[in-house]
Amino acid sequence: MTQRFSVNLNPSPLPSGTDVPPAKATRRRRLTAFTIGTFLVAVLVAAALFAPWLSPFDPNAQQIAQRLLSPSAHHWLGTDGFGRDLLSRVIYGARPTLILVSLIVVLTVPVGLTVGICAGYLGGWAERILMRITDIVLSLPSLVIALALVAVMGPGLMNGALALALTSWPAFARQARAETLALRRSDYLAAARMQGIGGMRLMFGHILPLCLPSAVVRAALSLGGIILSAAGLGFLGMGVQPPTAEWGSMVAEGSKVIFDQWWVAAAPGGAILLASLAFNLLGDGLRDKLDPRNAYR
């Protein structure tokens, strides 16, 4: 007797007991991280831009009679040792933080991409010299070097940004060099050379656009660490000077009374945590969206 076997050419895409396909679930997780990160960053930027309208009190107005008040309906996050409203100071503290982060990104990304692309494309002695300088800077502890530079140049917003920028560009340089080495023998650049394109035009007109997506992702991922470093400078008194509201200096002030009035340090500390989490989620989402290897997962 001949037995017949049938093959189902259209099997069910979902295994038993599964509601969402794995690919869709993965894309949903990536979308969630990107969406949450974008929303938190938007909230942070909006707080910095509209601080005069969002703050219920003057962030620098001192009310000694109301010092170290606990959170209440009148002061949502309480008051500090000088009677200043903590919610207003936390909102205004987003301004120097975002300005510092923006200055560091503007300074580090172009320098890192230029060094990395030149090293990867030129090769030879140029690559060895540029990469050895990059390795030397990369081996130095960034916060310690930033503290030394700020001690020499003086505390302040611009000096803090320059100090952190001088120690933050090597990561971008190494990544740009690796990508340039992978592209140097590609058919894309060979076709550009056949059209007479070379030198600076080839490096910054054809290689640079291909290195920008990964640089944007790395910048977004590194912003969380930059925010922590900036807060560290403020905590040690090397960043933005009082009475300007700055999260690191607010944490330093609250640490003196942290066992009795914990909210004085918890309010700016929570803002630092939220800002770092926002940029980390945004960078993780950008990495998944811009990485072509994740397109078909």
Entry pTM = 0.80
Domain-located, residue 218: yes
In a domain, 262, yes or no: no
Span 3-25, average pLDDT? 49
**What CATH number is attached to the domain comprising 192?**
1.10.3720.10
Mean pLDDT (whole number) for 222-238: 86
Residue 255 lies in a domain: no
Q: Is residue 180 part of a domain?
A: yes
Domains of the chain: total: 1
Task: Judge whether 159 lies within some domain.
Answer: yes
Does some domain include residue 258? no
Judge whether residue 58 has pLDDT over 70: yes
Q: Give me the pLDDT at residue 214, please.
A: 86
The predicted-structure confidence for 182-201, as pLDDT tens digits, reads as follows: 888 888 888 888 888 778 88
Residue at 14 is within a domain: no
Proportion of the chain above pLDDT 70, given as a percent: 87
Cβ 86 vs Cβ 263: under 8 Å: yes
Q: Of 294 and 63, which is predicted with more confidence? A: 63
Residue 130 resides in a domain? yes
Q: Which single residue is written with the structure tokens 């969402």?
A: 20
Please, which residues have CB within 8 angstroms of residue 233's CB and are 6 or more apart in sequence?
143, 146, 147, 150, 160, 163, 164, 239, 248
End-to-end CA separation in angstroms for the chain: 46
Q: Could you tell me the residue range of the domain that residue 123 belongs to?
A: 95-245+284-294
